[in-house]
Structure 1
Amino acid sequence: MPTSFQPSRPSDSSEPSESIQAFQQSVIDEFRANGGKVGGPFEGEDLLLLTTTGARAGAARTTPLGYVRHGYSLLVVGSNLGGPRHPGWYHNLLARPMVEVEVGTRTFQALAVPAEGARREELFAHVVRAAPGYGDYQAGTDRLLPVVVLQGAEPDDWEGPGEVRTLADKVMEVHTWLRGQLRQVRAETDAHFAARAAHRGVGAAPVPGLGLQIRQRCLAFCQALEFHHESEDGHLFPGIARHHPHLTDVFDRLDAEHRTVARIQGALADLLAGIAIADPQRFRTELAAMSAELNAHLDYEEDVLLPLLADVPWPPVMP
């Protein structure tokens, strides 16, 4: 890769002008029409399409970006051509860490995690070896260029329910994913506190705050949980209730449990508002409360509702 290559040129403007937006769209269209290949100044270079959700308006926004592989992960850099501000897509993924990535003809969901400290330095050095232009961007600004790791969105211990044929299977798939995400956030948080407690001797102990890895995964879990419960309250539960009016007490209980979980989720969201998690010990306490309430809620919902959904095909059969 030549030193003069500018990997982020198609995308890095925090407030894109109409001309930049038009150029970006032409790159996106060419990328999708040609299986991820783009000509012109980016011919032969590694490009991906990153779709983030707007931090304010909530609208999907797709950005072409240069990337560098690192093991099984992909790295993108918020270079903004060496400008003084982070690009808009970076602010979006801090607010909503679940992103969509297109590489070649493949599209997948990913968790976007900015690297921190020594790991950021290690990964940035790796990026510069592959794409030296990023070193020039860093040299031209006082801003530390973010290095974002795009990693698989599934928890390490994720095991889906297998083939999804019924609505019951689909509900179990979502529940299993939520349980796995929550379990992984708790494991990473516990490991952080254990490392702090075990520190002895010279050298710095782990920082008191919790890292972006934990923040981003927990934020993604909270957003997925909120969407899941809104879908249940708005569509699934009313549909079942119409056919099973004798389950009024069940849905009253599920509604109350949703409100309880939402209160805990709100407390977690408050602690996730900044780049560093505020009050790590309180965060750990709220996380334990979420785990107890949510797992009990999911267990009850599965016991009562899954038998009613076992014969409902998924995806729905269109009339």
Structure 2
Amino acid sequence: MPTSFNQSVIEEFRANAGKVGGPFEGGDLLLLTTTGARSGVSRTTPLGYVRHGDSLLVVGSNLGGPRHPGWYHNLLAHPVVQVEIGTRSFEALAVPAEGARRDALFAHVVRAAPGYGDYQAATDRLLPVVVLERAEPDGWEAPGEVRTLADKLMEVHTWLRGQLAQVRTEVDAHFAARAAHQGPGAPPAPGLGLQIRQRCLAFCQALEFHHTSEDGHLFPGIARHHPHLADVFDRLGDEHRTIARLQGELAALLAGVHIAEPRRFRAELEAMSAELNAHLDHEEEALIPLLADVPWPPAGP
């Protein structure tokens, strides 16, 4: 769809609590904001969607064209997306479905919106079905009301620990399923799926952002008032660099659509997990007492 048409739909959507006319009138429509795979620029696209349980399904139909749409390539590079439905806006983890699950979900989509079947018939490529699910890990809850910078730091650390634990759980489940394989023939190939890739990539990107913010703002701000803690901040910086190196090794294994070398990925994940959890423990021990009286959010000017 031309950019000018998209923009007019976006403006109408936001001006009318998600209701638009024209070809979308009466249909279920959302706005999907992705981060450009190469540009890093946010881009918003109006898309039809179909509900499936607690998740939303969007299809990379590109009107039956020969190539996947740009937003699909963007979410492979940056799995956390922004979704607008009606007047609500929230973050979601975008996970393309695979194999038999993709086929079942596509059949569900076609029953709700038959036009997608026509788009599939018009092209040789398999139309991607993307599941938009909540970005928080299962069972995650904020650690309580955030009133101080110490509370905020603990909230972020709790979220990071939960994300990492969920990635590890999904990886362990994959290897357990392979080990439990019974029946004739060899077990399925040991590739790791897009669910694991997308969640791990989202975690790595969130962790990188968190550490960059600490190095650029939080640590220097505290150090100005506590120069006697220079050794503490030097050690925290060294830990950040170690974790960044381990994260870079993981990222290299996430470069393709499917995770390369699953066993190596599992070993690298465990190494980063041990290093990160030890770092978070140390950072909390050193900084929480210093931040307990700093109000959050910060007071205005």
Displacement of 1:157: 2.0
Q: Report the TM-score, using the length of structure 1 for normalisation.
A: 0.93
Task: Specify the alignment match of 2:209 in structure 1.
Answer: 227
* Cα distance between partner residues in 2 of 1:132 and 1:90: 21
* Cα distance between partner residues in 2 of 1:262 and 1:86: 32
Cα deviation code 1:173-210 (max 9, x no counterpart): 11111100100000000000011011011377343100
Question: Per the alignment, in what secondary structure is the counterpart of residue 47 of structure 2?
Answer: strand
Would you say the 8 A contact 1:166–1:310 is kept in 2?
Answer: yes
* Residue type of the alignment partner of 2:236: L
Question: Per the alignment, in what secondary structure is the counterpart of residue 126 of structure 2?
Answer: coil
Task: Specify the alignment match of 2:269 in structure 1.
Answer: 287
Task: Specify the alignment match of 1:151 in structure 2.
Answer: 133
* Cα distance between partner residues in 2 of 1:318 and 1:207: 56
* Cα distance between partner residues in 2 of 1:74 and 1:186: 25
Confirm whether residue 84 of structure 1 aligns to residue 66 of structure 2: yes
Confirm whether residue 244 of structure 1 aligns to residue 226 of structure 2: yes
* Cα distance between partner residues in 2 of 1:41 and 1:134: 14
Displacement of 1:291: 0.7
Cα deviation code 1:55-89 (max 9, x no counterpart): 01101100000000000000000000111100000
* Cα distance between partner residues in 1 of 2:213 and 2:167: 24
Would you say the 8 A contact 1:168–1:310 is kept in 2?
Answer: yes
- State which drifts further: 251-260 or 37-46: 37-46
* Alignment equivalent of 1:189, drawn from 157, 171, 179: 171
Displacement of 1:259: 0.4
Question: Per the alignment, in what secondary structure is the counterpart of residue 30 of structure 2?
Answer: strand
Between the two proteins, the alignment pairs up a number of residues equal to: 301
Displacement of 1:307: 1.0
Question: Per the alignment, in what secondary structure is the counterpart of residue 289 of structure 1?
Answer: helix
Equivalence map 1:141-180=2 (5 Å): 141-180=123-162
Q: Can you give the 5+ residue segments of structure 1 that lack an aligned partner in the other structure?
A: 1-10, 12-19
Task: Specify the alignment match of 2:40 in structure 1.
Answer: 58
* Cα distance between partner residues in 2 of 1:100 and 1:62: 9
Confirm whether residue 302 of structure 1 aligns to residue 254 of structure 2: no
Question: Per the alignment, in what secondary structure is the counterpart of residue 51 of structure 1?
Answer: strand
Confirm whether residue 44 of structure 1 aligns to residue 45 of structure 2: no
* Cα distance between partner residues in 1 of 2:188 and 2:198: 18
Q: Can you give the 5+ residue segments of structure 2 that lack an aligned partner in the other structure?
A: none
